[in-house]
């Protein structure tokens, strides 16, 4: 059966894994950190996607002082900012963002502002005018704070916004905010999004006469 459309007023877009494929950089940086700390790199990567770095560290090494996690995360962020090799747009992302140019949408990312800018530039993507980054929230995904703030910035109730996400943490955050979640890519499929598509080439956004946005999906 065809996937039913979703009708909302605003769109909230994750960055890494949703608009930007930064997996190569994330793997290089976090695999190195995992080896340094005697952890399984695959388990570290599973936890790291979608979360702020210091939260990933706290999840994996719960007995460490948070001050140490924050200090180490600064080092990793510097490495990630400097490493843009292999960063590309997710298939369909350039056309998808172009279609949203004059429609209500916001970036909601766990990356800090400098890293978000560096990765969007590296992928050749337009930065949305409205954005919520790690600097704007007190709690990382899977906490819904970022998406709730994104909806508020757009001027809509949470239930009138749809989230686009790829990670377990991000999907959980969107659902906790009371929003339908469009899961993007293979990583999203196993985490229970409202709708799942392979990439952004399989999503169409149609503005309606009453100002709402209709999202339709192809397999």
Q: Let me know: does 212 contact 219? Beta carbons within 8 Å.
A: no
Tokens of 59: 């999840």
Catalytic residue (choose from 16, 143, 166, 199): 16
Q: Tell me whether residue 102 is one of the annotated catalytic residues.
A: no
Pairing of strands 130-132, 105-108: parallel
166 is catalytic: no
Task: Single out the residue of 190, 197, 117 nearest to residue 164, CA to CA.
Answer: 197
How far is residue 97's CA from residue 128's CA, in Å, rounded to a whole number?
A: 8
Distance CA 134, CA 57 (A): 16
Please count the other Cβ atoms lying within 10 Å of the Cβ belonging to residue 63: 5
Active site residues per annotation: 14, 16
């Amino acid at each position: 059966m065809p996937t039913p459309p979703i009708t909302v007023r605003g769109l909230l877009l994750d960055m890494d894994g949703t608009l930007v494929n930064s997996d190569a950089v994330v793997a290089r940086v976090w695999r190195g950190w995992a080896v340094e700390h005697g952890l399984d790199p695959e388990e570290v990567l599973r936890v790291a996607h979608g979360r702020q770095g210091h939260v990933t560290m706290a999840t994996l090494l719960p007995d460490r002082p948070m001050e140490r996690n924050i200090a180490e995360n600064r080092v990793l962020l510097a490495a990630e900012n400097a490493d843009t090799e292999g960063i590309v747009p997710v298939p369909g992302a350039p056309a998808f963002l172009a279609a949203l140019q004059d429609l209500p949408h916001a970036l909601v990312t766990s990356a800090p502002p400098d890293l978000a800018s560096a990765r969007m530039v590296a992928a050749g993507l337009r930065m949305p005018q409205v954005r919520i980054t790690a600097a704007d929230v007190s709690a990382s995904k899977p906490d819904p704070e970022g998406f709730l703030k994104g909806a508020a910035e757009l001027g809509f109730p949470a239930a009138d916004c749809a989230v686009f996400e790829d990670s377990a943490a991000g999907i959980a955050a969107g659902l906790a905010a009371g929003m339908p979640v469009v899961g993007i890519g293979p990583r999203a499929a196993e985490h229970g999004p409202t709708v799942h598509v392979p990439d952004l080439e399989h999503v169409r956004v149609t503005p309606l006469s009453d100002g709402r946005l209709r999202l339709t999906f192809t397999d």
